[in-house]
Amino acid sequence: MTIVANIQVGNEVELIDQHIAYHLALGIDGFVIADMASVDGTTERLNRYRGDKRFVIRTYDMDSLIDENGPRTAEIGRWMLEATRDHFAPDWVVRMDADEFLYSASTLDSFLSTLDAQATLQIERRNAVFEADQTIPPLPCTPAALSAVSVVAQPVKTSGPKYGMDDSLPLILTEVGPKVLARPGQISAYTTGGHAVLDGMGARQVGPVADGLLLVHFWFTTSERFLRKARFTAYAEELLSRRPQAVRGWQWSRWAGIAQGDAATSEAAILQEYHRQFPDAATLDALRCAGTVRRVADYWTR
């Protein structure tokens, strides 16, 4: 069984090398990467992988990412799938972002060998969580290292309108949507965000949850990364405001709002949002005792 990763990455200079190293160690056979107008050094890091037959990389500038209808994410997804089929012809493709690390309860190859003719499966995505006032550890480069990371195993479901009325719960404890594992020959595109797929007729397909696979979402790592990403969301939101029909994630819109204003005021607001995502020791212990937070290795323990 062969599997290729389809990755969209934007301004993830701290993560991209670790993401690639980890997934090579996991058993990913190839990568099709869309570089989404990165300006922080990500593009230069990705350029070092060009020429390696395991990588197909395309760099988009901002003008090519957004047209009169909004972000061209569907078109980018179709390109990734086409490149996957043309260059690798794999059995499976997994759609990820650079801050997501795939974990398999068994070896990845053995997991894939158990699957039937299902065209697509959902992979649950859970937020990695770290204790307040602690140094963020290096991102894992092996499955053994990832297995020791703590995740929010029982997140709270919410929505943009609901969270807008009461944002007292840190976002790190909320549920994020799944990503997909699919047979590239049986799908034509990804939906926005890569949370589902379209079949050859353009119909949305949602498969069952893949029991034994998990995406660990490193949503909040360093403050420098979050500052940069929040300010980029404000820039992107300004571009999208001219296209009211464009689909946008409510979390991104929240951060874009926080990043408004002069540099000093917005930095203080962004950092306040950032620090909320790290529970203190007592809170984290209570979350562990309740089973809300678990190590990745214990995720399927009930």
Q: What is the pLDDT of residues 149-172, one digit of tens each?
A: 999 999 999 988 898 899 999 999
pLDDT at residue 32 is higher than 70:
yes
How far apart, in Å, are the Cα atoms of 57 and each of 16, 61, 85, 191?
13, 13, 14, 21
Asked whether the beta carbons of 67 and 60 are under 8 A apart, the reply is: no
What is the rounded CA–CA span in Å between residue 220 and residue 209? 25
Q: Is the pLDDT of residue 137 over 90?
A: yes
- What is the reported pLDDT for 136? 93
Q: 39: helix, coil or strand?
A: coil
For residue 248, what pLDDT is reported? 59
At 22 the pLDDT is 98
Q: Give the tens place of pLDDT for each residue, 77-128.
A: 999 999 999 999 999 999 999 999 999 999 999 999 998 878 899 999 999 9
pLDDT tens for residues 218-266? 999 999 999 998 888 777 766 666 655 555 566 767 877 888 878 888 8
- In angstroms, how far is CA 250 from the centroid of its own chain? 15
pLDDT value at position 251? 78
36 membership: H or E segment, kind and range = strand 30-36
**Coarse DSSP helix, strand, coil percentages of the chain, rounded to the nearest 5 percent:** 40, 20, 40
Q: How far is CA 267 from the centre of its chain?
A: 24
Question: Please, which pLDDT band fits residue 130 given cuts at 50, 70 and 90?
Answer: very high
Domain coordinates in residue numbering, the chain? 3-220+282-298, 222-276
Let me know: does 33 contact 57? Beta carbons within 8 Å.
Answer: yes
Tell me: pLDDT of 144 over 90.
yes
**List of E strands, 228-270:** none
Structure tokens at 86: 């043309």
Q: Which pLDDT belongs to residue 245?
A: 56
Q: Is the pLDDT at 66 greater than 90, yes or no?
A: no
Q: At what angle do helices 223-240 and 250-258 cross, to 10 degrees?
A: 100
Which residue in 47, 69, 33 sits closest to 246, CA to CA? 69
| pLDDT, greater one: 117 or 276 | 276
Using a pLDDT cut of 70, give the percent of the chain over it. Answer: 93
Other C-beta atoms closer than 10 Å to the C-beta of 169 total: 13
CA atoms within 13 A on the CB side of 137: 12
Task: Calculate the average pLDDT of the chain.
Answer: 91
The angle, 0 to 180 degrees and rounded to 10, between the axes of the packed helices 263-275 and 250-258 is 130
Comparing 182 with 242, the larger pLDDT belongs to 182
| 125 and 217 Cβ atoms separated by less than 8 Å | yes
Q: What is the largest CA-CA distance in the chain?
A: 55
pLDDT: is 259 or 55 the higher one? 55
Instruction: Kindly state the DSSP code that residue 136 receives in the 8-state scheme.
Output: P
121 forms beta bridges with 181
Task: Report CA dihedral (263, 38, 45, 19) to the nearest 10 degrees.
Answer: 90
CATH for 3-220+282-298, among 3.40.50, 1.20.120, 3.90.550, 3.30.310? 3.90.550
Banded pLDDT at 76 (limits 50, 70, 90): very high
pTM of the full structure: 0.94
Q: Is the pLDDT of residue 8 over 60?
A: yes
Average pLDDT over residues 132-146: 95
**241-248, long-range: CB within 8 Å, 24+ apart, which pairs?**
243/66, 243/68, 243/69, 243/70, 245/69, 245/70, 246/66, 246/69, 246/70, 246/71, 247/70, 247/71, 247/192, 248/70, 248/71
